[in-house]
Structure 1
Amino acid sequence: MSLIQHATYLAYDPGITPKSGGLPGLSVLQNVIGSINLFGIIAVVGALAVSAVVWAWGHHSGSHQAEANGKKGTVVAAGCALLLGAANGIVAFFSAMGTQVH
């Protein structure tokens, strides 16, 4: 048995696909997750502001550790904002990859 034939045996498709109307509380769950995402974005805005202040304070006071921590916090907060804003698109992209037929 060749490797390609063996790989086709491992890639079994059980035929399960997501259904949008399968559960009675789906719209409530979507609202809850959307609200959690909004709270996360608001928290990231606060973290970004605090990190930028620490960065500036560390730079002007000569505290290299505070400056480095402020830079690190700014980058982490910006990355979190990017991921929170793109979360729906990322999940939709990778979910669609599983449905493509070769």
Structure 2
Amino acid sequence: MRVPPHLFLAFDPGIKPAEGGLPGLDVLKSTVNSINLFAIIATVGALCVSGVVWAWGHHTGSHGSEAKGKQGALVAAGCALLLGAANGIVAFFSQVGTSVH
């Protein structure tokens, strides 16, 4: 007997995230937290450098440097936003994903 393909879409494998399911979960969380901290510190440095380039370009009349400094400041601000909101973004889309049936 041949099963219609649309019936395969209704199969629920029953997979759900479980806290503490694997050994080393605490080490992984600690590692990701450390990487996030390192990235935030690097972003602060990038914002400082971009601000210096922006100011230097403005005061020397170098419009290209001024534009690159502004661009770097915006990119650093966007990175800071994403790094700070990473948990919330993942939690939001994970919750949206669980509501898909």
Q: TM-score range by the shorter chain?
A: 0.7 to 0.9
Q: Please tell me the residue identity of whatever aligns with 1:20.
A: E
Instruction: Work out the number of aligned pairs and report it.
Output: 97
Separation of aligned partners in 1, 2:10 and 2:79: 34
Which residue of the partner structure matches residue 34 of structure 1?
A: 33
Q: State the SS of the aligned residue for 1:18.
A: coil
Q: CA deviation at 1:15?
A: 1.6
Q: Which runs of 5+ in 1 are unaligned?
A: 1-5
Q: Distance in 2 between matches of 1:49 and 1:100?
A: 42
State the Cα deviation string for residues 43-94 of structure 1 (Å, max 9, x = none): 0000000001100110110001100100000000000000000001100110
Deviates more, 1:8-17 or 1:18-27: 8-17
Q: Distance in 2 between matches of 1:20 and 1:30?
A: 12
Which one-letter code corresponds to 1:43 in the other structure? A
1:55 counterpart residue number: 54
Equivalent position of 1:83 in the other structure: 82
Identity %: 71
Deviation string, structure 1 residues 20-58 (Cα, Å, up to 9, x no partner): 111010001000000000000000000000001100110
- Residue number in structure 2 paired with 1:97: 96
TM-score (norm 1): 0.86
- Give the 3 Å change call, closer, same or farther, for CA 14–59 of structure 1 in structure 2: same
Deviation at 1:13, TM superposition (A): 3.1
Aligned to 1:3: none
* Cα distance between partner residues in 1 of 2:17 and 2:48: 39
Change (3 A) 1:12 1:37: same
